[in-house]
Amino acid sequence: MPHPWPTPVTTSRCCATPSRSTTGSPRERRRRTGIGGIRLGSPTAGITGVGIAIPGQQGPSPLRGRGTPPVPATRPTVLITGAAAGIGRATALAFARSGYLVGAYDINESGTDRLARSAPSDSIVPGHLDVTDPDSWTTALDAFMDRTSGRLDVLVNNAGILRAGSFVDIPLDSQHHTPRVNVDGVINGCYLAHPYLKATPGAHVINLCSASAIYGQAELATYSASKFAVRGLTEALDLEWRRDDIRVTAVWPLFVDTDMIATEKTSSMSTLGVRLDPEDVAKKIVGIATPRRWHLPRPVHVPVGAQASAMFASAQVTPLRLLRAINRRIDRA
């Protein structure tokens, strides 16, 4: 069954603020004129990110890049970080099979190249991205937006790292590096992608959270703290960006069978087990990103799997003292 993708709007009102210059690089033209020829901040900004009518030109005005034609305006797009392996790779393949053009970005560029070769033809645009570096974000967004005519339906902030063990046994540099990737990476992505999300009707940000943000986890102290930050950022932006027609959601898996988990062990992992694989999380992400024909309230937080769902639901009604006792029991088992 074809998915009910939102149809981009084309309106003559957009002609009120055409680009004043056609010189310079695509990046320079976007900085001067906004997305798709609309001045960001103008009365018409945000009407649409694609399909902009320009006087004297037939059809949409694409932002072409590197000699590659942009995607058709009716094809949805998604940018995924940490896409070379694990949850990111599975999510990229799931979106590609669902008809999206996928921007698959990772610090491991050879991994995203292999991903592109294994996916349906012309469905994945691979590239390098260090999520801790705002300049790297700008370069990646420029490259992908050149392919999509400025359209960004979904941003999946998946990139993350984990170090397990006693807090004082993990080197301080590693302690600081975890929030740089897990928190700063999400902040950078949300901040720098916002103009493109705002210009795309019904855009959606999906942040990878964790069941470790329900209650702080022993042997995962800094990782757990970083996911609490992602939780708070998601809740705040969901409120702020409603006015921009941007949904913001946090996805909450428990332990997932990835290379990251294979090399890091904790008492809670031994107690609860590893019962999810990357495809379970990918299926949930694509499901919540897919537009619905009916309008029902959607939760900001979406647990993945029976364990995470039960833990999240019980945490909403369990007193903190009891929640602490439960987590102490899990850690000791």
Residue 297 has a pLDDT of: 72
What phi and psi values does residue 70 have, to the nearest 5 degrees? -70, 165
**Are 176 and 266 in the same domain?**
yes
Could you read off the pLDDT of 271-318 as tens digits, one per residue?
Answer: 555 667 899 999 999 999 987 666 667 889 998 867 766 676 666 766
What phi and psi values does residue 78 have, to the nearest 5 degrees? -145, 140
**Are 193 and 97 in the same domain?**
yes
Output DSSP code: residue 263. Answer: T
**Are 184 and 122 in the same domain?**
yes
Name the residues annotated as catalytic.
223
**Are 293 and 190 in the same domain?**
yes
- Of residues 40, 37, 46, 42, the one with CA closest to residue 19: 37
Kindly provide the residue ranges of all beta strands, DSSP E only, lying in the chain, ordered along the sequence. 77-81, 101-106, 124-128, 154-157, 203-208, 246-252, 301-303
Name the residue with higher pLDDT: 14 or 313. Answer: 313
> Is 66 inside a domain boundary?
no
Domain holding 305, by residue range, is 75-332
> Is 125 inside a domain boundary?
yes
Which DSSP helix (H) or strand (E) runs through 31?
Answer: helix 26-33
Assigned token pair, 242: 């409603």
**Are 263 and 317 in the same domain?**
yes
Residue 14 has a pLDDT of: 37
Q: Is the CB of residue 62 less than 8 Å from the CB of residue 212?
A: no
**Are 22 and 139 in the same domain?**
no
Residue 252 has a pLDDT of: 87
**Are 23 and 168 in the same domain?**
no
Q: 66-75, 162-171, 232-241: which has the minimum mean pLDDT?
A: 66-75
**Are 146 and 110 in the same domain?**
yes
Round to whole Å and give the CA distance between 12 and 159. Answer: 40
Number of structural domains found in the chain: 2
User: Taking 90 as the threshold, does the pLDDT of residue 62 lie above it?
Assistant: no
β-bridge partners, 248: 205
Round to whole Å and give the CA distance between 155 and 80. Answer: 6
What phi and psi values does residue 143 have, to the nearest 5 degrees? -65, -45
Assigned token pair, 322: 């009891």
Q: Is the CB of residue 47 less than 8 Å from the CB of residue 112?
A: no
Residue 216 has a pLDDT of: 81
Round to whole Å and give the CA distance between 50 and 30. Answer: 13
How many other C-beta atoms lie within 10 A of the C-beta of residue 158?
29
